[in-house]
Structure 1
């Protein structure tokens, strides 16, 4: 029996393929944002470490992992063009197993979210709904190069930040915390746009109007850079206005580092977008934690 025939006849998923389906490498951004939220809340974590740990598991492995499984299931026809070695098109996750995994993880997410109080549960409901709205018909916001990356950016950065702050403070976060979380979520639109470069050919053939498809790689990359930079500049200005001292300077230095990385990436956006997502994004997320610490220090989370 050939390898192809063996994959087609598989009835149970390959455990390694299931792990790849939920993409552990994507869990870091929402977990980091959740931690930024807990820090920015101004609340002491003493006696609340269980809430912190449950929130991290919920934000990363469960909700983000679920969103990846749902996206792979809904994108299986696109992945057959772009990346046929992925778990579902390759047959290593056969039949409807991809859908069943995504649905089971959605239920697990809601169950865990219920342990985080009303704010945590409400945020979990929003996160699960956003994941399916992004990938599944008839909504499938992924078709839009504006709404799709915007939803993912807010879901990966703003929502977990808000959740972490709300859970630890046992209430609605302060307005300053919400504003900073929203700004970093908006900036993440640019990160998600660069992530779309890897699916350029499949998106073009299947009618997904990502910015790399509609604007072309060069223009899409420039738009992504502007979208990443402007919210961070706004964060610096706000922190200065709120009396922070060292944080605005540190974030400004990280913006300069991103400008260097952007110059490198813009020389060949299609080839270097993955490099930027592994390099320039590190400066972006470092600024998030600096802003969170600053919010705590100026009492915005109190």
Structure 2
């Protein structure tokens, strides 16, 4: 807990000794909830806002965080989506990345953890539990590294979900080598010499991919969620390095500027939402999220995106 400051969020903090304890006892109480898992596995910190108790909402946004800037001056847990959901008066569950818990120098962990902490399984079971308790559709939300986490989590949940991502990574090894190597050093203890090898990506992947999923480049990623909205800046290198391989793995159709639909449930939108890898305007993301809160709306019917069709 030395790398965390729960008091900064000005919320009551609850500690649960297991996911089963949380499932059987939590009664939609707002605050920060820390769920403990088997010894040696990372805890999950979850921020729940006060709107979780509003029965009028038919879906629940689940926010995943991307890279943390100025990490050396900040203590976790790190939560995203608070400002947006407050402005829109929406419920929120934000999950902090426990990969960052034990290393204050690490800025990005993609919610992957290490070789022994079973984070993928614990995260997916937590999402399934939240669905069972709340009885509402989960909307997995994130950008960049948080977008990877949202896509990755959508592959493992037993319940159907909606996914909203922007400029996500789809293969972490194809992201900035500085962030990737920092993660590999921190969570897998790869040496500096190993990470200087010409074949470091191939060499390291043989070890990491035994324990976790570092790539979501599979047809299931776009097609498994009940609904999916994928926003990609046209001038971002992620368009070529991350979106195109995922699209090619899914369909033989051409990936074009503007709207790319796969049926009524999946929409990939390429436009100059923002410069380079910067996130699209919060107003656009918020508008799309607000419309997705209606589980009956098809992706192609989202008014906020019709200008890109």
TM-score (norm 2): 0.30
Higher fraction of strand? 2
Between Structure 1 and Structure 2, whose CA radius of gyration is higher?
1
Give the helix-richer structure, 1 or 2.
1
Higher RCO (Cα < 8 Å, 6 or more apart) = 1
Q: TM-score, normalised by structure 1?
A: 0.30
